[in-house]
Amino acid sequence: MRAAAADGKANAALIALLAKELGITKASVRLMRGHTSRHKLLELDIEPAKLADWLDGVGL
């Protein structure tokens, strides 16, 4: 990611990237903790099977 950490741009870019990769809306990705930290806690509103398929697809 290359977005600046200023004004939440990096967090917004992270949410947009995850939403696109997972095929869900940006509203389905919520930053719960770590707004100003490198360590993030995200909540995803996604079907478990869809997430499992995505994880398998990326080799995790």
pLDDT digits (tens, 9 = 90+) for 20-60: 999 999 999 999 999 999 899 999 999 999 999 999 999 98
Residue 1 pLDDT grade (very low, low, confident, very high; cuts 50, 70, 90): low
Does residue 5 carry a pLDDT above 80?
no
Q: What is the pLDDT of residue 10?
A: 92
With a cut of 80, say whether residue 3 has pLDDT above it. Answer: no
pTM, two decimals, is 0.85
Residue 17: CA count within 13 A, CB half-sphere: 10
CATH match for 6-57 among 3.30.470.20, 3.30.1200.10, 3.40.50.410, 3.40.50.300: 3.30.1200.10
Tokens of 9: 């741009």
Q: Quick one: CA dihedral 19, 23, 24, 26, positive or negative?
A: positive
| 40 residue type, one letter | K
The 3-state DSSP class for residue 15 equals helix
Q: For the chain, state the CA radius of gyration.
A: 12
